[in-house]
Structure 1
């Protein structure tokens, strides 16, 4: 196993507000700006594809970007972030955290520029390429900037810096729907990514000149390139199956072949990682039941972001709401997650991790259930959505810190870094895969609906959008199932009581 020795940081340099602002601005380019895409997807499609060929179903005969491809664009950023966050964190340690942070911001500029230019025959490759590069940007920025916070701040100053870092991530994600909805409605969706470019430039200017921070490598272990490549191919194959399976056909040779690539690749990855001197994913960590349960539930709870994305699109497509009005309904999500995340820390200190993790998951489950009656009139459903979004934020706030503590507190000190990387990778992959499945179900059932849903929930008001409303129920039920599995994993693996270890700082997502 590789060993490292911290490089001696310049003794005269301490973190300041200029550097901290640059760090936070870099973080929000992903959580706030890139995170708007789920809400503004209908605006993007309407702008790029032009007038609907079917105004009722809101579809196009020959779209430049179809709904399935847009679903991939929504999910691919978190997917690429999850696939490369561990690699980027290792590169930051090896070649410099400041350098990787600057590279991440540069990638953010490139990705946003490609999205801004997405039009005409090159709309699809520019959109997908830009969103993938935004994911690489986030993979660079998140671990590198957190390492800078740990290096250049101490004591109360570090606690303040971590809090600001967390507000940039949690606060950014909470405000993404509102911010994106208003900009897309009143200015134009491309201006979101133009603004992201400006923010990235400011972040680079603020961080330039910061003394470099890295670790001295004392091991000659080779980088696990084989593991990374196999993992990447497997995840991409799985995402294509999830998003395009209904369009290609679930039993076609293409779909079956891609699914086989994903499954065989993941099995092969297990073999590669067990033989690697410095594995990309250290599967030995999953011998710790508490770490395993916390990581699985973290993957699943992050996957429930799909309920937010699906209902935002439901309100716009079936309800005819503007993106700004639909986004405004999520204000409770932003307020709750920012206001109550420290309460989760207090609950951890009083009850240990198990109970607040269960409470948080159950609250997310209640939020999912409240969104199920899509048969209601819009005037009634949007008030349910307000309450559900607020509960969604509250549940995640209760869950976040206790889950991080449960995952990392019981690992040996020399495994904490690897464990943290896997835990954060599970966050991003959970969000990507959960959103992809939710959107795939929503898209697949939107045209035909689901009769068994109609037998239980009889639509009030308009009936020309019945299929879309029923499709949303299917996607939301999937999120309810994820919550149930998350609760079971917590109950089966996280001890009922344990002595409190030193509290870990809140890691975003």
Structure 2
């Protein structure tokens, strides 16, 4: 396959292309689902392995730190060494780490393997979008990325469902062990259906070692500070030190990339593309709202309504179905109204759903307080997936698709971690304030969750404003998608 215009004009979608999309989406789901799949299983893991309260958070945070920290570097590695080759390496790392995590005898082993899973996920995630951009020309690309966006959108809610089923069924260890056979199937699919990497021009590219170290450590330290802030508080040295060092490294990274690096890890020409910059800022805010919603709504159901893991997980099925149905119609909306209006509409709808969640009370119910708002949020979220994914890669050269995909995933994961941490900290702080005034425990918890939902709604409304950075109409998103 070449990149010449005649080939693109003669492109015909075949069964093989459908299988390529299925394989790539399966690889994406493997790493994105592991962000949320742990939430409903954490109480069981704590009891079985003897985690402390502070240590338990690192079952989730250990994954986010390495995932967010290595995304840019891994995206660039794929551009240089080949997207297919790096995808296979990531799947192997992810499978091995999942196997050891499933057999972990103690907390330290589990947290270490969660960090290793994060590295594998950072190798996988940027390659998925880059391979779609490489395989499909502009027109059919919208159809492929629509499926990619559906898979990404469904992963959060679907992870809670799977986590609940496995936790009350074969046990929490199968949350990890099930990744092994699935990874093997995906690896076989990659070997069978995806073209080998092209070698042309790759020898002229070099690794930006200094930029790689600065960006990876900087993002990782910022993520550590963010995810720990809800427990330690922003006045703690354990938060201030990594936060300041992380910011300093990011600042140096920007200076290095703009003035020193001959072959930069993050070419500034990429950020100057308006749709790329707008997509990343908006994705960070949308991700923060979505991460916060899944986390707080899950805690509300388990700690206030006293639902079990299975009940909580199954409660997200309607939202999952709504995301699937809405995402299938999103390409037509993008074609009719453009990326900007579609994302703005989606963000506002999601914010309304989040505000409805804030009406939940200590004696609420699933049908009254969870079902309707979660469905509304699902519609809003689905309307943002495709246009933001298209904007992040449209107009980007093939040899920068990996880093462009890594960048949008950094925005999603780091934005999600930041939003989750800020919302969780504010919710916990308000709960503590209510408790000190003599409010009953359940009511205080509910008040904190309500406040968290309001903050998350504000973040989603803010994303509607940043979506104004997106172009009114984006080529390459026809209704044929």
Q: What TM-score, normalized by structure 1, do the two folds share?
A: 0.80
Which residue does 1:476 correspond to in 2?
A: 453
What's the counterpart of residue 136 of structure 1?
A: 119
How do 1:118-137 residues align onto structure 2 when only pairs under 5 Å count? 118-120=104-106, 123=107, 125-137=108-120
Matching of residue 291 in structure 1 with residue 276 in structure 2: yes
**Distance in 2 between residues matched to 1:506 and 1:489, nearest whole Å:** 28
Contact 1:85/1:143 (CA < 8 Å) preserved in 2? yes
The equivalent position to 2:423 in structure 1, one of 438, 441, 458, is 438
Aligned counterpart in structure 2 of residue 361 of structure 1, from 342, 347, 372:
347
User: Is the CA contact (8 Å cut-off) linking 1:34 and 1:134 kept in structure 2?
Assistant: no
RMSD: 3.6
2:153–2:385: 8 Å Cα contact kept in structure 1?
no
The answer (yes or no) to whether the contact 2:434–2:444 under 8 Å persists in 1 is yes
1:280-308 CA-to-partner distances (Å, cap 9, x unmatched) read: 22344444444333321111101112111
Is the Cα–Cα contact under 8 Å of residues 361 and 395 in structure 1 kept in the other structure? yes
Q: 1:201 aligns with which of 161, 171, 184?
A: 184
- Greater fraction helix: 2
- Partner residue in 2 for 1:501: 475
Written as runs of structure 1 = structure 2, the 5 A alignment for 1:44-443 is: 44-49=45-50, 64-66=51-53, 68-120=54-106, 123=107, 125-149=108-132, 165-208=148-191, 212-217=196-201, 220-245=204-229, 247-275=231-259, 276-304=261-289, 305-379=291-365, 383-409=368-394, 418-443=403-428
Aligned-pair CA distance for 1:108: 1.4
Q: Are the counterparts in 2 of residues 77 and 432 from structure 1 also a CA contact under 8 Å?
A: no
User: CA 1:418 to 1:188, structure 2 compared with 1: closer, same or farther past 3 Å?
Assistant: closer
The answer on whether the counterparts of 1:221 and 1:277 sit within 8 Å (CA) in structure 2 is: no
- Name the SS of the counterpart of 2:200 in structure 1: strand
**TM-score normalised to the size of structure 2?**
0.84
Gaps of 5+ in 1: 7-12, 50-63
Alpha-carbon distance, 1:333 to partner:
1.8
Alpha-carbon offset, residue 483 of structure 1: 1.4
In 2, Cα distance between equivalents of 1:43 and 1:159: 41
Deviation string 1:212-258 (CA, Å, 9 cap, x unpaired) is 22342356453122222222222232233233335445334443222
1: CA distance, partners of 2:32 / 2:479 = 19
Q: Which residue of 2 aligns with 1:57?
A: none
- Cα pair 1:408 1:416 within 8 Å, conserved: yes
- Map Cα deviations across residues 448-494 of structure 1 (whole Å, 9 max, x no partner): 24479x89xxx8xxx33233222223332331221132122223x33
How many residue pairs end up in the alignment? 469
Q: Secondary structure at the match of 2:240?
A: helix
CA contact (8 A) 1:71 1:440 kept: no
State the 1:22 CA deviation.
4.6
Contact 1:178 1:324 in 2 (8 A): yes
Unaligned runs of 5+ in 2: 4-13
Paired residue secondary structure (1:280):
coil
CA shift, 1:499, in A, is 4.9
